Structure 1
Amino acid sequence: MTSEVIDIFPAYRDYLQPARFKVAYGGRGSAKTRTFCTILTSNVLYHGWRVVCFREIMESIADSVYQEFVAEIERRGLDDHFEILKTEIKCKTSGGCIRFSGIKASATRLNTQKLKGFSDFDAAWLEEANPVTDESWRALIPTMRKSGSEIWVSFNPENPLENTYQRFVADPMYPPEKDGRAYCIVKKINFTDNPRFPRELQDDAELMQLSDPELYRHVYLGEPVADNALSIIKPMWVQAAIDAHLHIDGFPMTGGKIGGFDVSGGVEGDVAAPKMQDPNAIAWRYGCVLSGLEEWHDENPNAAADYAHGIVMREGLDTLHIDNIGVGASVPGELRRLEAAAKAKAISIGIPFRACRYNGWTASESPDRPDREYMPGKTHGDMFANLKAQGWGLLADRFRNTWQARNGLPYDRKQLISIPSGLPLREKLAAELSQPRRESVNGHMKVESKKSLKKRGIPSHNLADAVVMAYWEGQRSATISDEALRAA
């Protein structure tokens, strides 16, 4: 048949050359889906390509880009060349086809056998690829093994911790070129690259930019930020806390040395194929200034306690709040033993010993001092579902208070927070702080569970939890330092 003349916007012309990976990301109205659909339809029609369109989980054909291909075929008047079936599209002219599949059969189980059936396909397209997990990528990429096969990826970033964003944008795993040819083409494409950006969306973008600049950057400029309406700690508040002690007059530069220790949840996965465990994390502050962050892997909670105790001694912490749920239950006892041993050694060689208060912190417990007024007409017990929600809520108040101080609004000088710009792991912490969403249970605030975050492709926020505990100022806790000193 005679080739058509197809108008491909300049921003997309790089994708017309062969490459192993072709990645387009950005905001709404950039024509990513329609353009990829146009190019792939042409490759099926003129070159007999066999294309599979993946989603992380596809419960029905309605979850796929099936309808986009149907619309493309109708728009171009190609009905005579394609046979549109209920779950597949075949090209009668070239013998090519377009199929649709989920990478996973469920949130925890890969479609391993089904994936193997696509090993001789020419291309895989992952639309809305932001939730695709590391496990799914590691299964899918080697599946596409046909010589010259390509992997097309399009998505609007949701948050900076998602594996797809990390893999292709934040910390790219693949070189732009290999052996003198294009290998991984990654482009950020926004509505500004779409010459036919509809007036309706332009009006919406302009209004959103005025009313909610942060949401505008996410929706229309493709910036990976937390959901502005649901995030407990908003990214702009975290940004306002960077070097706040250098920008706010009279910032308090004294106070206690307090830390928080989030104990790893252990190794994930089954015995035959375990995955990397969540890291342990510790954070400490001096007054209102966050002074340090560390994370490390230790499968043994007691070994993790030993490492944390070394940091406590090195930094001279006054207090350490410890996550004592699950595997962390044994950690307070181990710290009690280490504290007693350290004191005995100090006494034996005649040097002063600085004791640290070790406080157990049980996130699932009811709020601390629930009858205290949180705001007019509402107590802490009215506001928060549990201790974790209270801790996150009070830390969010610190960040909002700091944002107010940086923006000339009234603020409480005692409830500030500053994160030094040179602090190791600062960027990872900033990303973790803005990810958990605010949930409501019978009118009480609750923090989105790590299980729910995992379903969204977001890793555990261990550093953020450690910071929540480091800034905790509640009274109820299981203090163990006195017992430790008596045991010594």
Structure 2
Amino acid sequence: MTPARNRVLYGGRSSSKSWDAAGFAVFLATQCRIRVLCARQFQNKIAESVYTLLKIQIGRFGLTNQFIITENSIKHKLTGSEFMFYGLWRHIDEIKSLEGIDICWIEEAHNLTQEQWDILEPTLRKEGSQFWIIFNPRLVTDFVYRRFISNTPPDTIKKQINYVDNPFLSATILKVIEAKRKEDEEEFRHIYLGEPLTDDDAVIIKRSWILAAVDAHKKLKIEPTGVKRVGFDVADRGDDKCATVANHGFLATHVDEWKAKEDELLKSAGRVHAIARMLEASIDYDSIGVGAFAGAHFQALNQEHKVKIPYFRFNAGGAVLNPERRIDPKDPKSPLNKDFYSNIKAQSWWEVSRRFRNTFNAVERGEQFAPDELISISSECDHLDRLIDELSTPRKDYDNSGKSKVESKKDLDKRDIPSPNLADAFVMAFAPRTSHTFTLANIG
């Protein structure tokens, strides 16, 4: 293996970059004693790490008997090699104190920040230690792309790997990839050839705004106050998932998702109701399609548990709120809500976007805003990487009359992007409410 401080694997989807890294790491662990720090930006559960990849590769190679695999660590019995798993966002200070690290494997490194790299780089001080940096490029402006691809530092080996380099792909997935190429060449090159996007002006919420909002309450030294809400996105098709996001005022505190069939709505409603009872929160639920029946379940659950959990319908296609107000009250020339937004979903996404932008300006530029004009996301939330991806993915779109709307799930599917369940639940948790979506009779 050619000596190098930094080993960078980047490219598109279905290229097996992480699988190859896991296999090679397992091989090295059987040959000599190594300490491997497996890191990613957000990791609140071991399942969010490369732990599962390593475990699968160990089994594939028939080496299970050689390793001690616990719930949060992997060690080789003979060589003493060990794999440790950390989330950079919450444990960067703890990582600084680690000694004797041979390999720091940074998975999904597109979220790596310069501040984190400035801490990590001198932390690996053992002779011959190295970084494995693996990612699918997002934007040309992302730190990791600029640092290792655009301006590659000395003592770095970089290799682009795409699906064409993976001989194990099925004929089915190859047909999917070819279909994407025919549908949208630009999206195909980004998703499957790993070509970064030049900007994100087409999306409703910029990624940089969302990243600035992670733990913004700590950065700005603001404590959450006010109402508590749970946004509930109901699974509406076979491969979809239910999702919830809970908040306390401007702070998102909990993120959850689970697989549920259409005929399991009662079970899912019970799960959401339990979260609301635990947090003493109200519920905002998707009332379209399958979700139309959720309200009746919440009413029955209120009666069963002798509680009064308020629940509110969110009809994505419903009319906008305050139609005669301007979208920017400070600008008398800005359009009216009724002339700018196609529906309440668009109005809600733009409102959340505005609050994310305010948060970015508060964190990065020191501008002052009231707490209810901001949004913060606790780094302790599960599924944080995907939440960030989903919130920063939908593009601006327009209806036949030129009013703004959110890119539809159908159009996202054409871009080979799954339904943004977490993002939809997030927006519902922060969406403005109409007075007619809830009555006291609903609390049973």
TM-score by length of 1: 0.52
The one-letter code sitting in structure 2 at the alignment partner of 1:443 is G
Q: Give CA deviations for 1:227-252 in whole Å, capped at 9, x if unaligned.
A: 51211111111110011011114x25
Aligned to 1:329: 292
Is this contact kept in 2: 1:225–1:235, CA < 8 A? no
Q: 1:172, 1:423 → 2: CA distance?
A: 22
Q: 1:362, 1:228 → 2: CA distance?
A: 28
Q: 1:133, 1:279 → 2: CA distance?
A: 25
1:452 aligns with 2:411: yes
1:379 aligns with 2:336: yes
Q: 2:143, 2:335 → 1: CA distance?
A: 29
Q: Give CA deviations for 1:284-328 in whole Å, capped at 9, x if unaligned.
A: 1111111111111221222211111111111111x2111000011
Q: Give CA deviations for 1:253-304 in whole Å, capped at 9, x if unaligned.
A: 211111111100131xxxxxxxxx3111111111111111111122122221
Rg: which structure is higher? Answer: 1
Residue 334 of structure 1 and its aligned partner are, at CA, apart by 1.1
Aligned to 1:369: 322
Q: 1:285, 1:227 → 2: CA distance?
A: 30
Residue 474 of structure 1 and its aligned partner are, at CA, apart by 2.9
Q: 1:223, 1:246 → 2: CA distance?
A: 35
Q: 2:198, 2:397 → 1: CA distance?
A: 14
Counterpart pick for 2:214 among 215, 234, 242: 242
Is this contact kept in 1: 2:284–2:314, CA < 8 A? yes
The one-letter code sitting in structure 2 at the alignment partner of 1:253 is P
Please state whether the residue corresponding to 1:229 is helix, strand or coil.
coil
User: Compared with structure 1, are the counterparts of its residues 216 and 424 closer, same or farther at alpha carbon in structure 2 (3 Å cutoff)?
Assistant: closer
Aligned to 2:247: 285
Q: 1:215, 1:385 → 2: CA distance?
A: 36
Is this contact kept in 1: 2:311–2:442, CA < 8 A? no
The one-letter code sitting in structure 2 at the alignment partner of 1:336 is Q
Is this contact kept in 1: 2:253–2:380, CA < 8 A? no
RMSD, matched Cα: 4.0
Identical columns (%): 32
TM-score by length of 2: 0.57
Q: 1:324, 1:242 → 2: CA distance?
A: 29
Q: Give CA deviations for 1:438-466 in whole Å, capped at 9, x if unaligned.
A: 11233321111111111211111111111
The answer for unaligned runs of 5 or more in structure 2 is: 17-40, 42-49, 64-106, 109-139, 152-193
Is this contact kept in 1: 2:255–2:381, CA < 8 A? yes
1:339 aligns with 2:302: yes
User: Compared with structure 1, are the counterparts of its residues 133 and 335 closer, same or farther at alpha carbon in structure 2 (3 Å cutoff)?
Assistant: farther
Aligned to 1:307: 271
User: Compared with structure 1, are the counterparts of its residues 446 and 326 closer, same or farther at alpha carbon in structure 2 (3 Å cutoff)?
Assistant: same
Q: 2:382, 2:216 → 1: CA distance?
A: 17
After TM superposition, the structure 1 = structure 2 runs for residues 18-417 of structure 1, keeping only pairs within 5 Å, are 25-26=10-11, 130=13, 175=57, 213-214=141-142, 217=145, 228-249=200-221, 251-267=222-238, 277-299=239-261, 300-317=264-281, 319-343=282-306, 353=307, 355-375=308-328, 376=331, 377-413=334-370, 414-417=372-375
Q: 2:257, 2:62 → 1: CA distance?
A: 38
Aligned to 1:430: 388
The one-letter code sitting in structure 2 at the alignment partner of 1:331 is A
Q: 1:133, 1:359 → 2: CA distance?
A: 43
The answer for unaligned runs of 5 or more in structure 1 is: 1-9, 15-22, 27-128, 135-159, 161-168, 181-186, 189-211, 268-276, 344-352
